[in-house]
Amino acid sequence: MSGNHQTLTLVLFSAVILVTLAITSWASRRRHGSPEEFYAGGRLFSPMENGFAIAGDYMSAASFLGISGVIALYGYDGMLYSVGFLVAWLVVLFLVAELVRNCGRFTLADVVAARMRERPVRIASGISSVTVSVMYLVAQMVGAGSLVALLLGGASGSARSWTVIGVGALMIVYVSCGGMRATTWIQIVKAVLLLGGALTLTVLVLVRFGGDLGSLLSTAAERSGHGRDFLAPGLRYGGEWTHRLDFISLGLALVLGTAGLPHILSRFYTVPTARAARRSVVWSIGLIGVFYLMTIVLGFGAAALLGGGAVRESDPAGNTAVPLLSLELGGGAGSTGGPVLFAVVAAVAFATILAVVAGITLASSASVAHDLYASLSRRGTRGEVGVARVAAVGVGIAAIGLGLLAQQLNVAFLVGLAFAVAAAANLPVLLYALFWRRFTTRGAVWAVYGGLVPAIVLVLLSPVVSGGPGALFPQVDFAVFPLENPGLIAIPLGFLAGWLGTVTSREPADEAKHAETEVRSLTGAGAV
C-alpha cells in the first residue's frame, strides 16, 4: 500500500465529511425546531427517497465488508447472513410498516402506549429502544475504528481510538444540528454511493469471468482451498452442536430483529401516509435485495481472484476482502486504477459508517426525549426537541466511551446481539399491541422486560463475557449459557412474558382504545 493511495484515501474521506457537513448545515438552516421537523424531517419525503434512506440505514459496513469477507473465507455460510437480513423485510412489510405509520408519531412507544396506561409502557419501551440502539451503535463504532485503521494501513491502537472519537463527534453534529432531515439526506447519498460502488465492482468481477457465474463459483471453490465444500454450508457453523444452535439462534434474531430496530421504525414517520410507507419498504426491499446479491458475487469473486490465503493474511476476519478485491480489479497495486478503486471503496465504506451511526443516534435521542423525558419529567412534552438535541450529544458520548472500551469485541457478535435484543424486547410488544385484542398494560410491560432482561442476562452468562480465551473477562468463568446469541431463548421468552402478563392482568384491556388503535392502524384515520 503506497503513500499515494493513502493520500487519495484521505482526500476522499475528507470529501465525504465535507459533503455530509454541507447537508447538515443546509438542513439545519431550515429547521423550525418542531418535533415534526426534528424527529420526522417534516414527514414529506417521497417513498423513493425514504426507500433509499431505509436501505442506507440498513446496509451497514458490516454488510458490505463483513458479509463479503465471510463469503470469501467460508463460502456458502456467509450467504446465510444475506438471506436472513433480506427475509426480515417481509416481517417489516407485512406486519409492521403501514400499521406503525398509521398509529404512531415518532417512536415505537407511541404505538404501544396509545392503548395502554401510558407511563409504564412508555418507560419500558423507551429503555429497551435506547438499549438496542446503544448496542448497535457501539457495534458500528467499533467496526469504524478497526475498518479505518485497516484501510489506512496503520492498525495502531491510537488510530482506532481517534477514529471512534471522530466518528462519534461527527454523528453528534449531524443529529443534534440537522435532525431527521439531515440524517435522511446523508442516508440517501450514502445509499447511492454504496450501491454504485458495489455495482461497479460486481460488473468488473463478472467481466473478468466473461459473465459466466458457473466458472466464477468453481474458480472460487478451487482457490479457496476448501474445494466443493466451499459452496455448501458447514465450513463455519458446522462441527459442534453449540455452534449449530448458535447459528439457528442468530438466524432467528436476524429475521425477527429488523422489525424491532428503533431506527428502522422511525423511518416510516418521514413519509406522509401508510401507503407511502409501504412503497418505501418496497423500494428498500428491492435495493437491499440487489445489494445482498451483489455482496455474494463480490465474496465469491474475492475468493476466486485473490484466493482464501491472501484474504486471511490481510485480516483474519475477512473484512478487507472487498478493498483488496477492488485493488485487484483496478489492475493491481502497481497500476493507477487499482489504488484509485481501492480509495473509492474505502471512502464508500467510511460514508456507510457515518450514515448508519447518525440514523441510530437520532432514533435513540428520540426515545430518550420523547419517551423517557416526556414521561418522567413534570414539564411533559415542552422543550422536547431541545432535550432530544442534548440527548443526541449524551448518547453519542456514551457510545464513544463504550466503543473505546469494547474495541476488542467481535463486531458481528455485537450486531447479532443488538438484533436479538430488538427481536426479544421490541417485536413481541409491538405485534401484540397491533394484533391482540386482550393485550393489557401489564402484558406490555412484561413483554418488554421479559425479553430485554433474559437477553442481557444470557449474554452476561455466555462464553462471550467469561470463560474463554476470546472473552471479555478471560480469567474468570461464569459462562453457564453455552450459546453466544441469546435469540433462541430470549425471543420466545419475550412473547411468553407478554402473554403471561396479559392473562394474569386484573384490569381488562381497554376496549375503546383497542378499537381506536385497530381502526387507525388499518385505515389511517386521524394519522399525523
Partner 1 sequence: MIFCVCPSLGMRTDDPWHDALASGWGDDDARPAAPPRSDRVEKRGEPVDAHAAVYLTVQRSAAFQQVRRRHRRFVLPVSAAFLVWYLAYVVTATVAPGLMSRPVAGVLNVAMVAGLAQFASTFLLTWAYVRHARLRRDQLALELRWETQDMARLQAAAQIPAQTAGSAQAPAQSAPVRGGAARRADPRAAPRSESRAARRTDSRANAPAPRTAWETMP
The footprint of partner 1 on residues 325-344 (CB under 8 A) is none
Burial 289-323, CB ≥16 within 10 A → b, else e = bebbebbbbbbbbbbbbbbbebbbebbebbbbbbb
We find the least distance from the C-beta atom of residue 48 to partner 1, in angstroms, to be 9
Please tell me the distance from the alpha carbon of residue 367 to that of residue 258, in angstroms, as a whole number: 17
- Sign of the dihedral defined by the CA atoms of residues 431, 432, 433, 436, in that order: positive
We find the least distance from the C-beta atom of residue 45 to partner 1, in angstroms, to be 6
**Contact flag: residue 138 with partner 1 (CB under 8 A):** no
**Contact flag: residue 248 with partner 1 (CB under 8 A):** yes
54, 70, 172, 221: residue in contact with partner 1 (rule CB under 8 A):
221
10, 17, 93, 159: residue in contact with partner 1 (rule CB under 8 A):
93
CA dihedral 74, 79, 82, 87 (to 10 degrees): -140
Site for partner 1 in 405-444 (CB under 8 A): 435
With respect to partner 1, which residue has the nearer C-beta, 152 or 231? 231
Distance of CA 326 to the CA centre of its chain: 25
Angle value at C-alpha 270, between 44 and 354, nearest 5 degrees: 120
With respect to partner 1, which residue has the nearer C-beta, 312 or 514? 514
Place of cell 451511526: 357
**Cβ(107)–Cβ(371) below 8 Å:** yes
**Contact flag: residue 36 with partner 1 (CB under 8 A):** yes
The C-alpha cell at 163 is: 477514529
**Contact flag: residue 379 with partner 1 (CB under 8 A):** no
108, 171, 255, 421: residue in contact with partner 1 (rule CB under 8 A):
255
Q: Give SS3 for 473.
A: strand
**Contact flag: residue 383 with partner 1 (CB under 8 A):** no
With respect to partner 1, which residue has the nearer C-beta, 208 or 510? 510
Please tell me the distance from the alpha carbon of residue 122 to that of residue 107, in angstroms, as a whole number: 10
Q: Which segment (111-119, 327-335, 454-462, 489-497) binds partner 1 by CB under 8 A? A: 111-119
We find the least distance from the C-beta atom of residue 421 to partner 1, in angstroms, to be 20
31, 208, 278, 438: residue in contact with partner 1 (rule CB under 8 A):
278
CA dihedral 176, 178, 183, 184 (to 10 degrees): 150
**Contact flag: residue 142 with partner 1 (CB under 8 A):** no
Which H or E run includes 229? Answer: none
21, 165, 177, 293: residue in contact with partner 1 (rule CB under 8 A):
293
- Terminus-to-terminus CA distance in the chain, angstroms? 53
40, 67, 141, 252: residue in contact with partner 1 (rule CB under 8 A):
252
Beta-carbon count within 10 A of 288 CB? 24
Q: DSSP label at 258?
A: G
We find the least distance from the C-beta atom of residue 50 to partner 1, in angstroms, to be 10
The C-alpha cell at 31 is: 429547521
Please tell me the distance from the alpha carbon of residue 308 to that of residue 74, in angstroms, as a whole number: 9
Where would I find the H helices in 45-105? Answer: 47-58, 61, 68-74, 76-91, 97-103
Dihedral pair phi/psi, residue 474, rounded to 5°: -65, -20
- The pattern of x and - marking residues 41 through 60 that bind partner 1 according to CB under 8 A reads -x-xxx--x-----------
Amino acid letter, 371: D
19, 21, 393, 489: residue in contact with partner 1 (rule CB under 8 A):
19
168, 251, 299, 416: residue in contact with partner 1 (rule CB under 8 A):
251
Q: DSSP label at 526?
A: T
Dihedral pair phi/psi, residue 60, rounded to 5°: -85, 175
**Contact flag: residue 238 with partner 1 (CB under 8 A):** yes
**Contact flag: residue 350 with partner 1 (CB under 8 A):** no
With respect to partner 1, which residue has the nearer C-beta, 310 or 519? 519
We find the least distance from the C-beta atom of residue 227 to partner 1, in angstroms, to be 11
**Contact flag: residue 231 with partner 1 (CB under 8 A):** yes
**Contact flag: residue 214 with partner 1 (CB under 8 A):** yes
We find the least distance from the C-beta atom of residue 321 to partner 1, in angstroms, to be 19
21, 31, 105, 468: residue in contact with partner 1 (rule CB under 8 A):
105
Dihedral pair phi/psi, residue 466, rounded to 5°: -145, 165
55, 72, 86, 400: residue in contact with partner 1 (rule CB under 8 A):
86
120, 153, 166, 233: residue in contact with partner 1 (rule CB under 8 A):
233
With respect to partner 1, which residue has the nearer C-beta, 251 or 463? 251
Close Cβ partners of 54 (under 8 Å, ≥ 6 residues apart):
187, 264, 267, 280, 281, 283, 284
**Contact flag: residue 177 with partner 1 (CB under 8 A):** no
